[in-house]
Structure 1
Amino acid sequence: MALVAYGGDSSDDDENAVHNGPNQPSSLVPKSMNAAPAVHKSSTELSSVIKPSVDNTSLTLHTTNHQLEQLRNEKNVLYQPNQRYDVEQSSRPTKKRRNILTGHAEEQAFNEATFKVQHRTFQNLGYAYDPSIDDNGVSGASLIGDLEKARVNLGRDASMFRPDKAQQKQVRSKRSKGDPSVLDGDDSYKGPWAKFKEESTSSDEYEDEVDEEDEEEDAAAATKTNDKAVEDSETAEAKDTVSPSEPTTATSTSTSETGETTQFHGSTERDYLGRTYMFVPQDLDINLRKEPGQEEWFIPKKKIHTWRGHAGGVTGLRFFPQSGHLLLSAGNDSKIRLWDVYHDRELLRSYSGHAKAVKDIDFSPDGTQFLSCSYDRTIKLWDTETGTCISRFGRGNSVANSIRFNPRPEHSHEFVAAMANKKILQFDIRTQEIVQEYDHHLEAVNTITFVDDNHRFMTTSDDKSIRVWDWGVNVPIKFISDPLQHSMPSVKLHPSGKHVAAQSMDNRILVFGATDRFKANRKKEFTGYNNPGFATEVSFSPDGRYLMSGDSEGFAFFWDWKTTAVRRKLKVHNSLVTCISAHPQETSKVATAGLDSPIHYWD
């Protein structure tokens, strides 16, 4: 019944309310009511008081007593409220109230840097300064936690253990910067990219580290005074022995019989699931497992990355089959290197075993193995993942100018090599024997290209002729020659499989049919670039819309396949462009290399 006399703020209530005059009290409403509970007078001194707050940045509980009010007036505290409590503010409706059962919420101001230092000190050392306020009104006057360790460290926090600049400079001056001419290994050039050794956590440990480094330098100086043979033997033993407790970022394996070596340069050989770099990444914004050439391709405009590692010119570039997540390169420095195309784009592995410059490389259809041929008259089969040299071919034979795996699954264990002694040799990698010879060319054979659904292959030679062969038959089924025809050191199959483009030595790129009659297409002829007497690679875009090649002045040319018109001329190197290859899955990415050592990546 007391609700009848309730005075609300609603306008509807004001209109419908029953107003009683002062001389007409209602009999339904009691004259007075005290609903407050009985509270002992002495307990009000420690009762919780609800106070307002300005912002909602942090929560701190406070109780009102005479001691806390006294501490708030002190000036030497580490933290205090941003805005002191005012009784008048509590009645303002605009102030946001944060009331809780046992106190009030209030913003506090404190030094963030000091808090982080003390937090880090407590995590690493087990002690920190107590932020509570003592009886004298001072915060941080005592330590809490592991007091014994604090006594040993004289109460120093984590920011006091780092050596000063003079000590750091003294240690850095004793570290070897390496040889700029050495790329990998212990003596490689480190420069400003060298990682510092782990700093000590106390001045005593730091002095011990400096003493140990002095002893190591004295031992190294004594070792240098020995003769060359002793030094070489000690170096070899040191390289062969790897401490199991020391983490290494590069692992080497070597074959003592012929001297092939491999070295891993990446950050880690396996990821958290135990997968190596052979696994096609799936955390990208592109599906690398789809069939190449399904999307429209565009001509690149700018350079997005540069791989450096070869000491001389690059002679071969091959993307990993279908996915293209790895890039294999060969150089005049007799080295073969494997690069990461995505993620860190770092050098993953190097393969060493050839005594002279590498002429050509080729991936197997599944990418697990690759072939390499060199001026040292050897052909070697490598394991892409482990870097092991599996087999060696062609010992005592002539130099191989080009090598190609048979793409057909039933013949994936065989490959052919274009030799400088006018022959084409067919090898079986299982028996390491020559199973067939093709010997109708009159001069050195330059290229091998599989055509007609990989049932046949086409070869070019310095005798200025093109011959087409059936697999396993030493009789050419097609012979193409012309008095005006020049030697063709580079041939590429069109993605449609119906045409081949051949770079001629007279500044032209000629087109021939890749099926049936293998006839020259006189209507398609690509010109406009200057390349007299040099062998530059010819390549197609994955969708077949563009033909690309380099010239002797460092330019990359992009022609329209239908109109044979030059669509773009891009400066990519400072000298002859020897290699150009389009990424099989990307829509506008191209890798180029030349007589200068860098490998450029364009988009």
Structure 2
Amino acid sequence: MVVHFLSSPTMSLPLDYASDSDRDRPCTLPRVACAPETALADPMLQRALLLQASATELAASVPYSHLCKPESGPALNPYASKSLSRKNLITGFAETEYMSPAHFDSLHRSFLRKRPLSPTHPSPIHNALLDTHYQKLDAAVLKTKRQKKGDPAVIDGHNAYRGPWAKYENIHPDPPLDLSDESDHQPAPPPLPAENLSLDPLVHADESTAFHGHSKTDYQGRSYIHVPQDLDVNLLKHPGQQECFIPKKHIHSWKGHDKGISVIRFFPKSGHLLLSASMDSKIMLWDVYHERNLLRSFSGHAKAVRDVAFSGNGHTFLSASYDRMVKLWDTETGTCVSRFTTGKLPYVVKFTPTSGDQNEFLVGTSDKKIVQFDVRSGNIVQEYTHHTGPVNTITFVDDDRRFVTTSDDKSLRAWEYGIPVPIKYIAEPYMHSMPSVVLHPSAKYIACQSLDNQIVVYSASDRFRQQRRKNYRGHNCAGYALQIDISSDGRYLMSGDAGGYACFWDWKTCKMYKKFKAHDSPVISMAWHPQETSKVVTAAWDGLIKYWD
């Protein structure tokens, strides 16, 4: 309805507000046209009223209920040329959209849950969970029908980790199509009996050892692990008194492992023996001087050996394996003294130098704990449980009163020995996981192999701050737990490379001095001889151990 207001040029005020002179004048009020202007045609015969969006007047009388109706009709004229310009199909315009396979599978599962029951092909999960057609499955019931996610620390077995890949117990995928010839088809092997399927994640293996040298004692009756004194170098002096140099040539190779090497360790202080652990579940002891042959092999793990650690005097050593066992070995006789386990994967083992006879050791496990064992009783003395990921390294600092740990949670924590509360916690957004840490001979710094292709340095004092000026780059270590080492005089830092290179940096200037091809596979471990000036041992995944001078 349109209302027209007609006003005269001279509009008088009401009588109450007018002056005495204006009361005698006639009062002129505005005229209101209550009847709108309508079209000549009968409006009751009209079936449609076409209006423009900018129209402000109606040419016909329209009921109020029609005026309150929502807008309808196409936004644009379907026959206009502008709308036809975007038309890529006969029926209009279609946009392409990307859908990931995971999203498609989710929608497909939702369709399977909501589809109606089929009387000819009933489904067990539908008969059990669907009450009516197109009814959504109950989330709680569906969750019970799904397999358990498992423990992230378990790789295989009954409680193995499945995570988001856990399948549904009652939904089985269609079998793959067999496109091979029927004549080549072989019958499937019979299933194994139930008693042969072990659900225990702990796999035990019998310990055995073999001596491969010429004689276990010398002409004076001393054992083969005794430090030799008939050499040009004094192996009894304190390490670090000699000036070190970068090696230049390859002088010897040790070969005895069937698979890649995991870690190598020199005999403490003297370095006349070399201990190596491999993925073939074997541990071997090599002679560094004289004939440089294999002295003794240790077999007692069912899976690959992850780490080994000598005691302070070298008479015993620890081995950690993927069979979840930590074993204590006698270096001279090769017998297994004790066995320890927490049921989880041990990633790193370290004797505690705080006790005089080293009756305790630390184990970093896959369940985010550092466990402290007593060798004499075999019991757990203490647990350090503040990490949120598997523990990779344990390094003693501050005269062995404290130790620093790194984890897959991309953090660094410092602990007081025996107190299960960290005294320092470092976790920056730019930090990466650090699978290898070594203490500088000055005991003031620790060098950490970071998985962003660099080596970072932290102070080993009370503050444990990062030394941002010390940054070593030039090698590729991302994705590999490459171990690093520092020369005994503290002048050079070395690390392996994923391409098989050996890299050497100057500790003060952080400049790379040398990089040469050492192996055909990633150099997983490097060790500097504690008493020699330029003797370095490298080990790689090709199963070779090389000696450089």
Range of TM-score over shorter length: 0.5 to 0.7
Distance (whole Å) between structure 2 residues aligned to residue 279 and residue 273 of structure 1: 11
Distance (whole Å) between structure 1 residues aligned to residue 218 and residue 345 of structure 2: 40
- Aligned-residue RMSD, C-alpha: 1.0
1:581 has 2:527 as partner? yes
Map 1:563-582; keep pairs closer than 5 Å.
Answer: 563-582=509-528
Distance (whole Å) between structure 2 residues aligned to residue 346 and residue 292 of structure 1: 24
Helix, strand or coil at the partner of 1:410: coil
Q: Check conservation: 2:266, 2:274, Cα contact below 8 A.
A: yes
347, 355, 367: which is aligned to 1:421? 367
The CA deviation string for residues 43-86 of structure 1, in whole angstroms up to 9 with x for no partner, is xxxxxxxxxxxxxxxxxxxxxxxxxxxxxxxxxxxxxxxxxxxx
**Larger relative helix fraction:** 1
1:368 match = 315
Distance (whole Å) between structure 2 residues aligned to residue 529 and residue 278 of structure 1: 36
1:347 has 2:294 as partner? yes
1:534 has 2:448 as partner? no
Alpha-carbon distance, 1:410 to partner: 3.1
Q: Check conservation: 2:310, 2:317, Cα contact below 8 A.
A: yes
395, 402, 406: which is aligned to 1:449? 395
Q: Which runs of 4+ in 1 moved over 6 A?
A: none
Distance (whole Å) between structure 2 residues aligned to residue 537 and residue 407 of structure 1: 21
Q: Which has the higher contact order (CA 8 A, sep 6+)?
A: 2
The CA deviation string for residues 542-569 of structure 1, in whole angstroms up to 9 with x for no partner, is 1000000011000010000000000000
Map 1:402-441; keep pairs closer than 5 Å.
Answer: 402-410=348-356, 412-441=358-387
Alpha-carbon distance, 1:259 to partner: 1.3
Task: Report the identity percentage.
Answer: 59
Q: 2:378 is matched by which residue type in structure 1?
A: Q
Map 1:15-34; keep pairs closer than 5 Å.
Answer: none
1:555 has 2:511 as partner? no
1:318 has 2:265 as partner? yes
Change (3 A) 1:375 1:258: closer
The CA deviation string for residues 69-125 of structure 1, in whole angstroms up to 9 with x for no partner, is xxxxxxxxxxxxxxxxxxxxxxxxxxxxxxxxxxxxxxxxxxxxxxxxxxxxxxxxx
Map 1:72-111; keep pairs closer than 5 Å.
Answer: none
Change (3 A) 1:485 1:543: same
Alpha-carbon distance, 1:411 to partner: 6.3
Distance (whole Å) between structure 2 residues aligned to residue 509 and residue 422 of structure 1: 24
Q: 1:547 is matched by which residue type in structure 2?
A: L
1:298 has 2:245 as partner? yes
The CA deviation string for residues 444-483 of structure 1, in whole angstroms up to 9 with x for no partner, is 1111000111100000011100000001101000001100
Give ranges in structure 1 of 5+ residues lacking alignment.
1-256
1:516 match = 462
Q: Check conservation: 2:205, 2:302, Cα contact below 8 A.
A: no
Q: Check conservation: 2:485, 2:528, Cα contact below 8 A.
A: yes
Distance (whole Å) between structure 2 residues aligned to residue 511 and residue 588 of structure 1: 23
Helix, strand or coil at the partner of 1:271: coil
378, 382, 396: which is aligned to 2:325? 378
Q: 1:539 is matched by which residue type in structure 2?
A: D
Change (3 A) 1:276 1:552: same
Alpha-carbon distance, 1:258 to partner: 5.5
Distance (whole Å) between structure 1 residues aligned to residue 443 and residue 260 of structure 2: 31
Q: 1:334 is matched by which residue type in structure 2?
A: S
Give ranges in structure 2 of 5+ residues lacking alignment.
1-203
TM-score normalised to the size of structure 2? 0.62
Distance (whole Å) between structure 2 residues aligned to residue 422 and residue 411 of structure 1: 28
Which stretch of structure 1 is more off in the superposition, 270-279 or 554-563?
270-279
Alpha-carbon distance, 1:442 to partner: 0.6
Distance (whole Å) between structure 2 residues aligned to residue 271 and residue 327 of structure 1: 19
The CA deviation string for residues 191-219 of structure 1, in whole angstroms up to 9 with x for no partner, is xxxxxxxxxxxxxxxxxxxxxxxxxxxxx
The CA deviation string for residues 319-355 of structure 1, in whole angstroms up to 9 with x for no partner, is 0000000000000000000000000001000000000
2:218 match = 271
TM-score normalised to the size of structure 1? 0.57
Helix, strand or coil at the partner of 2:356: helix
Q: 1:420 is matched by which residue type in structure 2?
A: S
